[in-house]
Amino acid sequence: MNQVLVLNSGSSSIKYRLIDMDDRARLADGTVERIGESAGSVADHAAGMDVVLGALKGRLDRSRLAAVGHRVVHGGDRFRGPTLIDDEVCDAIRELIPLAPLHNPANLTLIEAARSAFPDTPQVAVFDTAFHQTLPDYAYTYAIPKEWRTDLGVRRYGFHGTSHQYVSRRAAAMLGREPEEVNMIVLHLGNGASVCAVREGKSVDTSMGMTPLEGLVMGTRSGDLDPAVSAYIARQSGQSAEQIDQTLNKASGLLALAGSNDMRDVDTAAAKGEEAARLALDVYCYRIRKYIGAYLAALGRVDAVAFTAGVGENSATVRAGALLGLEHLGISVSPKRNAQESKQERYISPYWAQTAVLVVPTDEEIEIADQALQVLGAQP
């Protein structure tokens, strides 16, 4: 019993990975994309599960499958860690649908399909929000009416928790210390992006809020915005709340500023002197810098700043831009180390720096597999 199947479903995709936990080797992995998007594509996440099962034929050995690990986006304030799935847990994930209307239904459909495909295998839910359940009340509370907070659950939950947890543990290991001994700022910069302030191994603040829209500028999301903008646009243009929500989530961010949500395109265009791309890059990096300043104040002492995910792992421009002018706070990159391309965990700060600046490739699938086994009482 040494195999774990990890299923990571987005609103229109399923990433899967079958892992041999003895040597952490990938026995199979892939992505089913554009689920439910058009006629002829995979109809829903249950049909997507059939595609995954087809792809695993010949590689998956049911007698050796110890667990199926599921990424679930929203665990509300109910799930503080990985959880063995039963009917009651499915009901609780269903009750949280209003908080994550696109993701939790997709996650649930996939969980149900996997439970019927593997009725004898334990299934574990790993929540994107769980790592942030350690936020103190003053960090997760919005200053809004009590009924909104208590009856409607409006508060900061935070996301990307699996990645922040994995990266913060790896970063502590790179410093040669236990996670409980280290304070750090983790920058997860992918299509979605968020910052996390980690004190002694625990999340104490994070930039995404009740939904993944708040915080940093992202591929297609605006990040922080005056909350009055939505009502203003509704009044001026007659658009519905739903349309405005769509625009802020799907048609804003880098895409709105520079015409592409892919940082590679923005970087290339900025290097060619295109003004819109220059501005997009500056807005993107400045937002990160403001959060670093805020989290330095929140943490007091910071031992490391860690970059991860597609942009964080690959864009030297963004890493340098985000830390520009922070030398007097002990945070800087060595231009030579920063420019070096690599898929490995590495230091990019100069040898004399007070604060380590690190690049740590994230691996949410391994983290989900490890947490799934932890729940079953088998240490990874």
Query: Which residues of this protein are in contact with ligand ADP, per CB under 6 A?
Result: 190-192, 219, 262-264, 267, 309-311, 314-315
Residue 71 is assigned to a ligand binding site: yes
Q: Which residue has its beta carbon closest to ligand ADP?
A: 310
Would residue 128 show up in a list of annotated catalytic residues for this protein?
Answer: yes
Residue 190 is assigned to a ligand binding site: yes
CB of 195 to ligand ADP, least distance (A): 14
Residue 313 is assigned to a ligand binding site: yes
CB of 68 to ligand ADP, least distance (A): 21
CB of 352 to ligand ADP, least distance (A): 28
- 44 vs 262, beta carbon nearer ligand ADP: 262
Q: Are 222 and 298 in contact (CB under 8 A)?
A: no
CB of 264 to ligand ADP, least distance (A): 5
Angle at 301 between CA 297 and CA 306, to 5 degrees: 90
Residue 311 is assigned to a ligand binding site: yes
Q: Point out the catalytic residue in the list 20, 120, 128, 303.
A: 128
CB of 267 to ligand ADP, least distance (A): 6
How many Å apart are CA 83 and CA 35, to the nearest integer? Answer: 26
- 199 vs 319, beta carbon nearer ligand ADP: 319
- 128 vs 205, beta carbon nearer ligand ADP: 128
Angstrom CA distances, 264 to 270, 273, 277, 315, 370, stand at 10, 14, 11, 8, 32
- 128 vs 370, beta carbon nearer ligand ADP: 128
Residue 210 is assigned to a ligand binding site: no
Q: Are 196 and 188 in contact (CB under 8 A)?
A: yes
CA end-to-end distance (rounded Å), the chain: 12
Contacts of 126 (CB under 8 A, 6+ apart): 69, 70, 71, 72, 82, 162, 367, 368, 371, 372
CA 378, distance to chain mean position in Å, is 26
- 14 vs 204, beta carbon nearer ligand ADP: 14
Counting beta carbons within 10 angstroms of the beta carbon of residue 191, is it exposed (0 to 12), middle (13 to 18) or buried (19 or more)?
middle
Task: Give the residue numbers of the binding site for ATP.
Answer: 15, 188-192, 262-264, 310-314
Please list the active-site residues.
128
Task: Give the residue numbers of the binding site for substrate.
Answer: 71
Task: Give the residue numbers of the binding site for Mg(2+).
Answer: 8, 364
